[in-house]
Amino acid sequence: MHEYDALRAARPEWFTNTPGGIDIETSPDAVARAGGVIYQDTRRIVLCDAVTFPGGRPGTYLRTMSASPQPGAAVLPMLPDGRLVLVEHFRHATRSWHLEAPRGFGAAGLTSTDTAAKELGEEIGAHAPELLALGRVHPDTGALGDEVRLFAALITSVGALATSEGIRKALTVTFEEAEGMVRDGQITDGLTIALLYRARLHGLASPAAPLYAASKAAGRHRAVAGV
């Protein structure tokens, strides 16, 4: 109960009840019955809330939240000729290799732009002086409370890969090839699919329109500190 109350004080937005929605019950008996904070570490918090569903039925609901108040970030690396850089990353949750764009958890003291730049450096050894913000997504609204900010970045080369994190190779593909991989089921990672879709909507799918030229022509603003 103490951990649950501490979270309610620190993150009140996690416990807001909205008319017509699923209400969270916060009495000591209700929290004790549901379980409250089931697990937490430096990255994740797992909660089991006591809830009342529309219509009055009581129950419990499990959700997973990021431990950091800062959103995570995912970034689509683009080479000057318009090709994209994806990594082949082993994911423990699915016990499978996945083709993905670099991404990472948010961290205290870092903006989402900082996180995106950090992940580029750590995962593929690339540097991007500026990034284009592509908006935000919620990866799984049924179970995760996380928000992830999306970016595109113009890079000139790929350096050392984060092999210790389960990345075994990087590959470069055209935008059309990447979308074909989505269509054929070779790319199944939701954040990478969201990045490709948002990038296309921002006019970045044409090799004739590299990141900065496309963003300027579309009147977009590049990501700046504080995003």
Residues 37 and 95 in one domain: no
CA pair distance 13, 64, nearest whole angstrom: 14
CA pair distance 137, 92, nearest whole angstrom: 22
Q: How far, CA to CA in Å, does 107 sit from each of 7, 133, 145, 164?
A: 17, 18, 16, 20
Residues 93 and 188 in one domain: yes
Last residue in a domain, options 66, 101, 120? 66
Residues 109 and 123 in one domain: yes
The total domain count for the chain is 2
CA pair distance 213, 50, nearest whole angstrom: 51
Residues 78 and 46 in one domain: no
Contact between 38 and 47 (Cβ < 8 Å): yes
User: What's the pTM value of the predicted model, to 2 decimals?
Assistant: 0.89
Question: Measuring CA to CA, which residue among 89, 45, 97 is closest to residue 67?
Answer: 45
Residues 161 and 56 in one domain: no
Question: Measuring CA to CA, which residue among 194, 206, 83 is closest to residue 135?
Answer: 194
Last residue in a domain, options 66, 101, 122? 66
The verdict on residue 183 lying in a domain is yes
The verdict on residue 225 lying in a domain is no
**Tens-digit pLDDT profile for the chain (227 aa)?**
799 999 999 999 999 999 999 999 999 999 999 999 999 999 999 999 999 999 999 999 999 999 998 999 999 999 999 999 999 999 999 999 999 999 999 998 999 999 999 999 999 999 998 899 999 999 999 999 999 999 999 999 999 999 999 999 999 999 999 999 999 999 999 999 999 999 999 999 976 655 555 555 544 444 433 34
The verdict on residue 6 lying in a domain is yes
The verdict on residue 136 lying in a domain is yes
**Structural domain that includes position 42:** 2-66
Residues 147 and 187 in one domain: yes
Element (H, E) at 98: strand 96-100
Residues 27 and 111 in one domain: no
